[in-house]
Structure 1
Amino acid sequence: MKKIIIVLSLLSSGLLFAQEKDVQKTIDDFFVGLNSKDTTAIKKQCYKNVIVQTILKTKQGNQLKTDKFEDFLISISSIPIEVKIEEKILDYKIQVDGNLAHVWTTYEFYVNESLSHKGVNSFTLFKENFEWEIIHIIDTRRRN
């Protein structure tokens, strides 16, 4: 009986690890698209009604800014070709429960190899037709 419990535990942890890898691949692919300014690649990782938000510190206090996904894509595609952007993900914290996943990533954002800002991203994903899709993105931005 003890061996059966151990085997079942190993199988379930293996399935969870596989799901976490699939979730992380979705996030990784999103950033490959972002860093190459490839809006088609970005869209491929996102649900059609994805919500994009940012928490900003302003002189008036903290503010929540919500952008239309299409406006976000336009802002990425309008970055001049000679400007290099790179968002470096420093850490992943992934939680999965069935068809729902949450990913928390710390990051540093570089423009032409100079640190612009850093913060955290929070992604919510759901699994539809065996594919993980990002349904919500929210981030913070801090300058040093």
Structure 2
Amino acid sequence: MNKFITFLILIVLTTVVKAQSTTEEDRIKKTIETFFDGLHKGDSTTVSSTLHPTIKIQTTFSNKEGKKVLVTETKDKLLTNIANKNPQHTYLEKLLSYTIKIDGNLASVWTPYEFYLNDKFSHCGANSFQLFNDNGTWKIIYLVDMRRRSSCKAIQK
């Protein structure tokens, strides 16, 4: 009987720990989904709500000459670009998966993606997000994305 009770307690504790972890992962994923909802709609206020005031934003790609480039952008420039999105253009950054790692107040998220402009395939790559749990609210503190037009697994339409 003691073994059964011990076994039952272990199952309950494992379920509780897994549920707490899943909740944090869901909250982190929701922050990223909110970021992209704002991007797709051209809503800089929504995007801004997901960003920490001191966020660092970078993009990397290879230029036409094959040189590897790293570009740093300010939060203000990102938000201005989103706010000035041409309303006739549609953006869709289709996230293919999420890999989420959490340690206390720090989360790391890897999201491979395909990007479509006006329903036409534009490019693919991956995003790397670093998030900080700001007393109960996950905020993006670092965002870097990789962009390329070739070697994409996407079905180019």
Matched, 1:17 2:22: yes
Indicate which of 119, 144, 157 corresponds to 1:113: 119
Equivalence map 1:96-135=2 (5 Å): 96-135=102-141
Greater radius of gyration (CA): 2
Question: Could you tell me how far apart the structure 2 residues matched to 1:79 and 1:7 are?
Answer: 49
Shift of 1:3: 2.8
Question: Could you tell me how far apart the structure 2 residues matched to 1:47 and 1:116 are?
Answer: 29
Matched, 1:36 2:52: no
Q: Deviations over 1:6-42 (max 9, x none)?
A: 3222211111011100000000010000000100000
Q: Deviations over 1:62-104 (max 9, x none)?
A: 1211111111111222221111111111111111111111111
Q: TM-score, normalised by structure 1?
A: 0.94
User: What code does the residue aligned with 1:4 have?
Assistant: I
**Structure having the larger proportion of residues in strand:** 1
User: What code does the residue aligned with 1:16 have?
Assistant: S
Match of 2:73 in 1: 67
User: What code does the residue aligned with 1:116 have?
Assistant: S
Match of 2:147 in 1: 141
Question: Could you tell me how far apart the structure 2 residues matched to 1:60 and 1:111 are?
Answer: 24
Question: Could you tell me how far apart the structure 2 residues matched to 1:73 and 1:80 are?
Answer: 14
User: What code does the residue aligned with 2:44 have?
Assistant: T
| RMSD (CA atoms) | 1.2
Question: Could you tell me how far apart the structure 2 residues matched to 1:66 and 1:130 are?
Answer: 28
Match of 1:90 in 2: 96
User: What code does the residue aligned with 1:17 have?
Assistant: T
Match of 2:155 in 1: none
Shift of 1:60: 5.5
Number of residue-to-residue matches in the alignment: 144
Q: Secondary structure at the match of 1:141?
A: strand
